[in-house]
Structure 1
Amino acid sequence: MTDGESCEGDDMSVEAPLSHGQLFSWREVERYPEGWLTEANLASTWDMRGLSVEQAYGLLRRLVDRHEALRTTYHAGDGGRPVQRVHEAVELPIELVDRVIEDPSEHERTKEELVALPFAMSGDLNWRGRMVASGGAPVYLSLTFSHLIVDLWSIHHLHDQFKALVADPRAVAAMGPAPRELARRQREESWRPRQESSERYWRGVLDDGLMDVLPTLPARVERNRLELTLHSRALGGWAAEAGKRHGVTAPAVVMALLAAGLARHLDTDRVTMSLMSSNRFAPEDQHNVGTMNQLIPFVTGVDMRATLAEHIKRLHWTSAKSYRHSCYDFDQVAAMAAAHGERPEHGCWMNHLFRAWFNYIQVDRRPSDPHDPSPAELAWSPLAQQYGQAFRVRVEVRGGRTSVLMLADPEVLPAEAMTDMMRTLAVGVQLAVSDPGRALKDLWSAGAAPPPSLFPPEPPATVTPA
């Protein structure tokens, strides 16, 4: 049975327009080149020990019955705008495998196998799993979801609800509106003030100007890129300490330092950063299971004479204001940009409107320790993501370790500039705590090298894109 077949024969389905978050995810994924569709996949591994196969499948069916996103397929609609179909019932797209488990880390291989399988954008449930048992007893469940139907926040909710059902099969869960309900609300008259507010914000961003020095690409077009990742167990701890000192968040500290490096290497005093927003600020949206993330850009000045404290606070508050307008109709914004005079020849608005983006993901609740002496690692990816924006940073904090992944077009930021920006980040997180009165320009003349826990003393040689 394939995922597409799991919905065949189900005549009890309801067709509806997409919510703003669903439409944004669709427009994002549809620009991926054919060989990169797995970039939309999100993985999760759940402990199944102590359950029988029947219990495990029964609890999973409870989740599927509870959440429309797990019973939804997308389909082409009129005028190129997709629609969703919510099915009353679907077969679980989960295979059962029974085998002897000799390697305690084999679940990582299973996860890699599933994540490497792309989903079809249309007609697919866009999630699948493999339950691995040994001697008839379930051990773990490896799941892969497409970003088309859920975000990372939703996966955490699903896992928490599954664990609650394991503890008590009668457990209930706080529920937010389903994606179909969100789509309906976003088209009602009561939503109009939010829509008009977002439109005003976007007009302001367009008036301020996007970063024209960053080239944009057509959808599904590949181009050689560079990808550099800094791993450090101490970095997240220093960013958190700096955030506490200045009354901002750890992500804001990291973003501000990277924005400073970008401004320096682009020789500009203004930058545009596009932030990934969860769009879950209202209490009624805290428990939604669906895909709600959207990028929102903001334009800000970078004054190299300002102190580190002033720069970090300015970036934090400017970005915080942008979040108020981060739930919008993407197609409507693209039409607005075209009317404004933004006319990318290739027509890929996703790449054109978000030329530089920053995302910070806290995968789990384990804090980072600024005094962890573990050596930092810096590595170039053998094959960088070859499509999309000219500059992108994705920060992931998992198990106390912070990983900063920077992707860049080498014609915009050569390898040496990317390495320098990572070093600047390492220097800056400490100075933001110990000497925040230093001028921003001093990040490149501080003298002392960052400790090995924040940046390797001998970074790897620069690379030439393949």
Structure 2
Amino acid sequence: MSGDVTFPATVGQLSVWRDIEKMPPERRWEANLVFVWDLPAGDWAEEQVWDALGALGMRHGSLRTTFDVDAAGFPRQRIAVDTAAEVRDRVRQGTAAVAEREAMESAQLQRAIDATCELPWRAWILTGDGAPVQVLLVINHMAADGVAVLVMREDFEQLLRGAELPPARGPLEMAIDQQGEEGSGRLRTAERYWRRTLAAAPRLATGARQGSPLGATLHTGIPMPHAHEGAAKHDVTLASLVLTAYYRALREVTAENAQLLFPMSSNRFDEQHAGVVTSLNQWTPLVLDLDPAEPFDAIVPKVHWKTFQALKNGVCSPDAILAIRAEQERQDPPVDPGYYYNPILAPPGFPSEDTMVRPSLEWYEPARSTGPGFYVIARGLTSLDLVVRVNRSGWDRDTLDRALTSIQSTLAEALSAHPL
């Protein structure tokens, strides 16, 4: 399927593309994601690692895809290479000592990937005592989201151990489905949901939208098995439990009961999509306006099911959504810009820490300047962290500190952990 054949982008790819278009050229590296994978136990030669990465590219078509832009400004997918050896050679960036990891992560993240002419990912082997111990991966968001990278990691480990994995379903097949009658119907339903939800959302208070950039990471100290077990006791997902704590903190700090949130939909709710490596992430609006007198145990299931209903509308046309949002922002007063939430949480059973430690709060200066004005990433592989980036009026270090303290306090109560 390489050569001159192109296919439409999926709505997920188009959503990322529209975000990239808004970035100044010097900031387009912000479309990159960076990950480090520990190699599984074993005595691995460098060529084994490179060959497994090449095979990974052959399994997932998005890792071999570049994009042409048509006359109307729409990206079209093109399978750029046909062999594992060519994938391997094009993504192979070299070898470095594991001690250089931190500096390399920062430097390589900020090298933009031009998805119109480059394969959308790059890889390095990191060595310890002369042997490969880790893989450093930089990937453009057009090719994968956080959940897709977890899929890639699992497949890579199997390939490294010698498994033979057939080509997986990819974004080419998804794009064709989305052009059909059923796919078009889902897109129209999502548009109606967006219009209805934003019309009922809180309005923006007087004052500027932007504030001074802030960044913080809340290390909750809660190991992932403990977090999943605690969420199961509430009969909800961990993502819903953390979102409930987030909502309570916003309500407490802003003194406003109704909040417009934008949870990220992974759009991986069935077997057909669960293992697809591409960017499926899209924001979904959700208005929460729950009784402040109700205890946490009572509102958790309500947040969970309201979120579940919202995420049914996670596949949507980004161009249609931009038009709907622009319409609401022209209102007087305009719709509130909202608070964003992206759970990237390893599922139960993923290898993890099992020891509870005391929480800590780490402040940092955000490197990224584009994207949502208030963004919380719930990140959990071995333990649960919340990475927060804020650039919104009314929020300074003190108010953000109070919000994160509230979140930790809620999680500590719900999961029998330590308060901050």
Q: What TM bracket, shorter-length normalisation?
A: 0.7 to 0.9
More divergent stretch after superposition (136-145 vs 239-248): 136-145
- Distance, in Å, in 1 between the alignment partners of 2:259 and 2:381 is 29
Report the equivalent of 2:419. 454
Q: 1:71 aligns with which of 51, 56, 64?
A: 64
Alpha-carbon shift at residue 292 of structure 1 (Å): 0.9
- Distance, in Å, in 2 between the alignment partners of 1:95 and 1:331 is 35
Report the equivalent of 1:204. 196
Say if 1:211 and 1:79 are closer, same or farther in 2 by CA, change over 3 A. Answer: farther
Report the equivalent of 1:32. 23
Report the equivalent of 2:124. 130
Report the equivalent of 1:163. 157
Report the equivalent of 1:17. 8
Deviations along 1:411-445, one digit per CA (max 9) or x if unpaired, are 222322211111111221233367xxxxxxxxxxx
The alignment's TM-score, normalised by the length of structure 1, stands at: 0.77
Given that residues 216 and 389 in structure 1 are in contact (C-alpha distance below 8 angstroms), is that contact kept between their aligned partners in structure 2?
A: no
Q: Which runs of 5+ in 1 are unaligned?
A: 1-9, 346-351, 435-450, 456-466
The answer to whether structure 1 residue 388 and structure 2 residue 371 are counterparts is: yes
- Distance, in Å, in 2 between the alignment partners of 1:128 and 1:216 is 39
Say if 1:212 and 1:45 are closer, same or farther in 2 by CA, change over 3 A. Answer: same
Say if 1:98 and 1:154 are closer, same or farther in 2 by CA, change over 3 A. Answer: closer
Alpha-carbon shift at residue 132 of structure 1 (Å): 5.1
Q: 1:312 aligns with which of 300, 314, 335?
A: 300
- Distance, in Å, in 1 between the alignment partners of 2:69 and 2:264 is 26
The aligned amino acid for 2:245 is: L
Where does 1:381-460 land on structure 2 (aligned, <5 Å)? 381-383=364-366, 385-400=368-383, 402-409=384-391, 411-432=393-414, 453-455=418-420
Where does 1:154-303 land on structure 2 (aligned, <5 Å)? 154-169=148-163, 171-173=164-166, 175-176=168-169, 178-213=170-205, 224-234=212-222, 239-303=227-291
Report the equivalent of 1:80. 73
- Distance, in Å, in 1 between the alignment partners of 2:52 and 2:248 is 49
The aligned amino acid for 1:272 is: L
The aligned amino acid for 1:232 is: T
Say if 1:265 and 1:175 are closer, same or farther in 2 by CA, change over 3 A. Answer: same
- Distance, in Å, in 1 between the alignment partners of 2:366 and 2:129 is 40
Where does 1:84-99 land on structure 2 (aligned, <5 Å)? 84-89=77-82, 90-91=86-87, 92-95=89-92, 97=94
Given that residues 98 and 134 in structure 1 are in contact (C-alpha distance below 8 angstroms), is that contact kept between their aligned partners in structure 2?
A: no
Given that residues 375 and 390 in structure 2 are in contact (C-alpha distance below 8 angstroms), is that contact kept between their aligned partners in structure 1?
A: yes
Q: 1:376 aligns with which of 323, 339, 359?
A: 359
> Based on CA coordinates, which of the two structures has the bigger radius of gyration?
1
Q: 2:36 aligns with which of 24, 32, 44?
A: 44
Alpha-carbon shift at residue 95 of structure 1 (Å): 3.8
- Distance, in Å, in 2 between the alignment partners of 1:52 and 1:409 is 45
Say if 1:216 and 1:278 are closer, same or farther in 2 by CA, change over 3 A. Answer: farther
Deviations along 1:269-293, one digit per CA (max 9) or x if unpaired, are 2111101111111211122111111
Alpha-carbon shift at residue 137 of structure 1 (Å): 6.6
Name the Cα RMSD after superposition: 3.3
- Distance, in Å, in 2 between the alignment partners of 1:237 and 1:66 is 30
Alpha-carbon shift at residue 195 of structure 1 (Å): 2.2
Percent identity over the alignment is 23
Q: Secondary structure at the match of 2:362?
A: strand
Q: Secondary structure at the match of 1:26?
A: helix
Given that residues 356 and 392 in structure 1 are in contact (C-alpha distance below 8 angstroms), is that contact kept between their aligned partners in structure 2?
A: yes
Say if 1:135 and 1:377 are closer, same or farther in 2 by CA, change over 3 A. Answer: closer
Say if 1:300 and 1:53 are closer, same or farther in 2 by CA, change over 3 A. Answer: closer
Deviations along 1:165-211, one digit per CA (max 9) or x if unpaired, are 23235x224722x1111111101113233223212212221221254
Deviations along 1:127-156, one digit per CA (max 9) or x if unpaired, are 111235699975543221111111122222
- Distance, in Å, in 1 between the alignment partners of 2:208 and 2:267 is 26
Say if 1:14 and 1:215 are closer, same or farther in 2 by CA, change over 3 A. Answer: farther
Q: How many residues are aligned here?
A: 410
Given that residues 234 and 454 in structure 1 are in contact (C-alpha distance below 8 angstroms), is that contact kept between their aligned partners in structure 2?
A: no
The aligned amino acid for 1:16 is: F
Given that residues 204 and 337 in structure 2 are in contact (C-alpha distance below 8 angstroms), is that contact kept between their aligned partners in structure 1?
A: no
Say if 1:326 and 1:212 are closer, same or farther in 2 by CA, change over 3 A. Answer: same
The answer to whether structure 1 residue 148 and structure 2 residue 142 are counterparts is: yes
Alpha-carbon shift at residue 112 of structure 1 (Å): 3.8
Q: Which runs of 5+ in 2 are unaligned?
A: none
Given that residues 297 and 354 in structure 1 are in contact (C-alpha distance below 8 angstroms), is that contact kept between their aligned partners in structure 2?
A: no
- Distance, in Å, in 2 between the alignment partners of 1:35 and 1:229 is 26
- Distance, in Å, in 2 between the alignment partners of 1:336 and 1:26 is 18
Say if 1:159 and 1:378 are closer, same or farther in 2 by CA, change over 3 A. Answer: closer
The aligned amino acid for 1:27 is: R
Given that residues 224 and 384 in structure 1 are in contact (C-alpha distance below 8 angstroms), is that contact kept between their aligned partners in structure 2?
A: no
The answer to whether structure 1 residue 362 and structure 2 residue 336 are counterparts is: no
- Distance, in Å, in 2 between the alignment partners of 1:389 and 1:20 is 19
Given that residues 217 and 361 in structure 2 are in contact (C-alpha distance below 8 angstroms), is that contact kept between their aligned partners in structure 1?
A: yes
- Distance, in Å, in 2 between the alignment partners of 1:275 and 1:64 is 30
The alignment's TM-score, normalised by the length of structure 2, stands at: 0.85
Q: Secondary structure at the match of 2:179?
A: coil
- Distance, in Å, in 1 between the alignment partners of 2:415 and 2:130 is 54
- Distance, in Å, in 2 between the alignment partners of 1:156 and 1:287 is 9
Report the equivalent of 2:330. 343
- Distance, in Å, in 2 between the alignment partners of 1:27 and 1:357 is 18
Report the equivalent of 1:448. none
